[in-house]
């Protein structure tokens, strides 16, 4: 009877053969993608192309980030700093003491979200630089 180790070594060899067969195909598709993106940029250089990978937010579900941010801002009744909104939203999700990395990622997501909401006229920015605050548009 074949040992478990022998089976795993054979399986590993099969996987390596598959990779050797598929790597040229992958390289071909990457070249096609680069060519297509170059042609798009030649026609419309101002067009932004979304990256291939979208990492889902591990804390907030689809639509929760916007909903929670607007709820926090409504409850406050005044413009708040993005950092304050982020901490309050994380506390609402049950993360009372978020680590600095999580706070930073949440702030960056909030800034991008507020930029799109400001374009639509939902929120406003009050102040400039580090002293800026975000509020709900009247």
The CATH number for 87's domain is: 1.10.10
- The answer to the question of residue 58 being in a domain is no
Task: Give CA–CA dist 45/55, Å, rounded.
Answer: 26
Count of domains observed in the chain: 2
Q: Which of 10, 30, 53 is the last residue of a domain?
A: 53
- The answer to the question of residue 9 being in a domain is yes
> Are both 35 and 76 inside the same structural domain?
no
pLDDT of residue 87: 93
**Low-confidence spans in the chain with pLDDT less than 50:** none
- The answer to the question of residue 59 being in a domain is no
In contact, 117 and 85? CB cutoff 8 Å = no
pLDDT of residue 83: 92
pLDDT of residue 13: 94
> Are both 72 and 102 inside the same structural domain?
yes
Backbone angles phi, psi at 81, to 5 degrees: -70, 150
Containing structural domain, residue 22: 1-53
pLDDT of residue 127: 87
Please, what sign has the CA dihedral across residues 128, 133, 137, 138?
negative
Tokens of residue 84, six digits: 């304050």
pLDDT of residue 99: 87
Kindly report, residue by residue over 48-77, the tens digit of the pLDDT.
887 777 677 778 888 898 999 999 999 998
């Amino acid at each position: 009877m074949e040992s478990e180790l022998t089976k795993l070594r054979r399986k590993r060899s099969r996987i390596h053969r598959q990779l050797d067969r598929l790597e040229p195909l992958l390289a071909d598709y990457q070249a096609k993608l680069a060519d297509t993106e170059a042609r798009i940029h030649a026609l419309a250089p101002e067009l932004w192309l979304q990256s291939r990978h979208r990492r889902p937010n591990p804390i907030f579900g689809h639509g929760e980030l916007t909903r929670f941010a607007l709820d926090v801002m409504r409850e406050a009744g005044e413009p708040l700093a993005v950092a304050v909104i982020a901490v309050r939203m994380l506390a609402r999700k049950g993360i009372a003491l978020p680590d600095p990395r999580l706070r930073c990622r949440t702030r960056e997501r909030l800034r991008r979200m507020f930029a799109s909401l400001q374009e639509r006229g939902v929120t406003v920015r009050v102040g400039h630089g580090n002293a800026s605050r975000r509020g709900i548009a009247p």
